[in-house]
């Protein structure tokens, strides 16, 4: 079976599952415009609107490039689209009438767009379907899992290069340059999409020593010194020093699918305090791996992590300092921050096909970051770790 036939079958199943959940929520159809969702349900990332009715075939309305969308998309009907005023007629023709209730991706849709849709559909009720499509995307198919496994292997290869890179790298940014060059040589597209307002696409981050413990606006457990107030997170021009933890937290990407992982390296042995804190994060990971079976509640796994953390290892810096985040892991797939979230009071129940990271980490002011991150797949028997580079601190 050629690649196009595989993608057609894959996309048809995604649309079918999405339509089922639309129907259960009484939504007549969804207008999809966010690029990742658009790709997921049509096979193209061109500038377009995708109308997915609760029943019947979808319609792809393409602004640019129509020729590229016709080449890439697996949606049966594709039409040119130059103005929002065309939407009502196209949708009425495709669905046999105007929708009474239309779903929009309100978690990412600009208000300007929303108001335009309201003007075009004055008698249609608008509703948020962003969580519905995220729920559909939360369960990965064998096709998606295969690409995430390939991404994890790419990441393992990258991590294996770090000891050699450290013989030449003098600063965080030198090491960053080498990692990004290697990834691009392996086919990494150079982007890791992140969903949400003011969430910039990102490769990852490399940070060493005390600069890594500087707080920032990052949505994750660590921030970093960054390059200045114009980009105040991640790696800096700081020199890499001996016996300081070096965090290599760089996501891999194969055909759009992401593996997110992090490891700690050091030139010479780290202080006992840092090694002990790192050991605690490995215990957290092991405990969640043992308990993370289908039927387990995500919030209970987060509570388990908190029970394991040893105050003597610097519990005040667990998952961030001075503002710890209320999670120890996050979903991953076509975006870096998918469902499920392994966090406080999260009621999501694990099911086969879910993929998420575990990233228990300590941020220790004046010292740096220690901890681990790996991508996991939920199987019928429990969690399967996709990354295979050793979890221990790698001393060069």
R_g over Cα of the chain: 22
User: What pLDDT was estimated at residue 4?
Assistant: 82
Q: In this model, does residue 126 exceed pLDDT 80?
A: yes
Q: What is the DSSP string of 120-151?
A: H-TTSEEEE-HHHHHHHHHB--HHHHHHHHHH
Q: Show the CA angle centred on residue 63, arms to residues 44 and 336, nearest 5°.
A: 40
Cβ-contact 68, 49 below 8 angstroms: no
Residue 379 is encoded by which pair of tokens?
Answer: 């199987």
Q: In this model, does residue 313 exceed pLDDT 60?
A: no
Q: In this model, does residue 117 exceed pLDDT 90?
A: yes
Instruction: Average the pLDDT over 290-319 and give the result.
Output: 88
Q: In this model, does residue 1 exceed pLDDT 70?
A: no
Range of weakest confidence among 97-106, 212-221, 377-386: 212-221
% of the chain exceeding 70 in pLDDT? 98
Closest CA to 8 of 57, 51, 48, 80: 57
User: What pLDDT was estimated at residue 218?
Assistant: 86
Closest CA to 371 of 238, 265, 243, 290: 265
Question: Roughly what angle, to the nearest 10 degrees, separates helices 3-24 and 130-138?
Answer: 130
What band does 138 get if pLDDT is binned at 50, 70 and 90?
A: very high
Closest CA to 105 of 36, 7, 26: 36
pTM comes to 0.95
Instruction: Average the pLDDT over 175-179 and give the result.
Output: 96
Across-strand partners of 331? 338, 356
Closest CA to 214 of 200, 198, 203, 228: 228
Residue 144 is encoded by which pair of tokens?
Answer: 């998606």
Residue 384 is encoded by which pair of tokens?
Answer: 């399967």
pLDDT in tens, 12-49: 999 999 999 999 999 999 999 999 999 999 999 999 99
Residue 342 is encoded by which pair of tokens?
Answer: 């392994």
Spatial separation of the C-alpha atoms in residues 270 and 276, rounded to whole Å: 10
Q: In this model, does residue 342 exceed pLDDT 90?
A: yes
Q: In this model, does residue 312 exceed pLDDT 70?
A: no
Residue with tokens 């990233």: 359
User: What pLDDT was estimated at residue 202?
Assistant: 79
Spatial separation of the C-alpha atoms in residues 259 and 255, rounded to whole Å: 11
% of the chain exceeding 90 in pLDDT? 89
User: What pLDDT was estimated at residue 178?
Assistant: 97
pLDDT in tens, 227-279: 888 888 888 898 999 999 999 999 999 999 999 999 999 999 999 999 999 99
List the domains of the chain with CATH numbers: 3-137 (3.40.350.10), 139-395 (3.90.230.10)
Higher pLDDT, 218 or 150: 150
Rounded to 5 degrees, φ, ψ at 123 are: -105, 5
Question: Roughly what angle, to the nearest 10 degrees, separates helices 3-24 and 35-42?
Answer: 110
Higher pLDDT, 390 or 234: 390
User: What pLDDT was estimated at residue 319?
Assistant: 95
Spatial separation of the C-alpha atoms in residues 328 and 376, rounded to whole Å: 13
- SS3 label, residue 384: strand
User: What pLDDT was estimated at residue 315?
Assistant: 66
User: What pLDDT was estimated at residue 390?
Assistant: 98
Question: Residue 29 contacts by C-beta under 8 Å, 6 or more apart in sequence?
Answer: 22, 51, 52, 53, 54, 91, 95, 99, 102, 103
User: What pLDDT was estimated at residue 233?
Assistant: 85
Question: Residue 249 contacts by C-beta under 8 Å, 6 or more apart in sequence?
Answer: 204, 205, 206, 207, 261, 262, 373
Question: Residue 362 contacts by C-beta under 8 Å, 6 or more apart in sequence?
Answer: 277, 278, 280, 281, 313, 314, 317, 318, 369, 370, 371
Question: Residue 193 contacts by C-beta under 8 Å, 6 or more apart in sequence?
Answer: 35, 36, 201, 334, 335, 336
What band does 311 get if pLDDT is binned at 50, 70 and 90?
A: low
């Amino acid at each position: 079976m050629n690649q196009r036939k595989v993608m057609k079958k894959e996309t048809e199943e995604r649309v079918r599952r999405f339509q089922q959940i639309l129907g259960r929520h009484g939504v007549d159809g969804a207008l999809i415009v966010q690029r990742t969702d658009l790709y997921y349900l049509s096979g193209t990332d061109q500038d377009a609107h995708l109308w997915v009715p609760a029943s019947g075939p979808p319609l792809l309305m393409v602004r640019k490039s129509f020729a590229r969308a016709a080449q890439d998309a697996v949606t049966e009907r594709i039409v040119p689209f130059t103005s929002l005023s065309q939407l009502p007629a196209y949708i009425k023709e495709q669905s046999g009438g105007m929708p009474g209730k239309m779903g929009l991706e309100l978690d990412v849709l600009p208000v300007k767009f929303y108001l335009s849709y309201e003007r075009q559909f004055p008698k249609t009720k608008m509703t948020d379907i962003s969580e519905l499509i995220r729920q559909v995307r939360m369960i990965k198919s064998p096709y998606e899992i295969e690409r995430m496994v390939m991404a994890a292997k790419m990441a393992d290869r990258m991590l294996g290069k770090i000891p050699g890179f450290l013989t030449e790298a003098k600063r965080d940014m030198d090491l960053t340059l080498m990692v990004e060059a290697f990834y691009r040589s392996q086919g990494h597209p150079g982007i890791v999409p992140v969903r949400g307002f003011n969430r910039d696409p990102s490769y990852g981050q490399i940070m060493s020593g005390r600069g890594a413990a500087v707080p920032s606006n990052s949505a994750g457990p660590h921030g970093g010194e960054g390059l200045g107030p114009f980009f105040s997170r991640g790696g800096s021009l700081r020199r890499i020093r001996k016996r300081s933890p070096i965090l290599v937290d760089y996501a891999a990407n194969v055909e759009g699918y992401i593996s997110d992982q992090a490891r700690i390296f050091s030139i010479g042995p780290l202080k006992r305090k840092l090694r002990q804190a790192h050991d605690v994060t490995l215990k957290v990971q092991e405990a969640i791996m043992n308990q993370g079976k289908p039927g387990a509640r995500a919030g209970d796994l987060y509570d388990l992590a908190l029970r394991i953390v040893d105050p003597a290892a610097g519990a005040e810096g667990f998952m961030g300092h001075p503002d710890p985040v209320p999670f120890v892991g996050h979903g991953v797939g076509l975006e870096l921050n998918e469902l499920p979230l392994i966090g406080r009071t999260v009621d999501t129940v694990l099911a086969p096909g879910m993929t998420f990271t575990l990233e228990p980490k300590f941020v220790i002011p004046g010292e740096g970051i220690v901890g681990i991150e790996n991508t996991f797949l939920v199987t019928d028997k429990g969690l399967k770790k996709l990354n295979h580079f050793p979890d221990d601190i790698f001393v060069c």
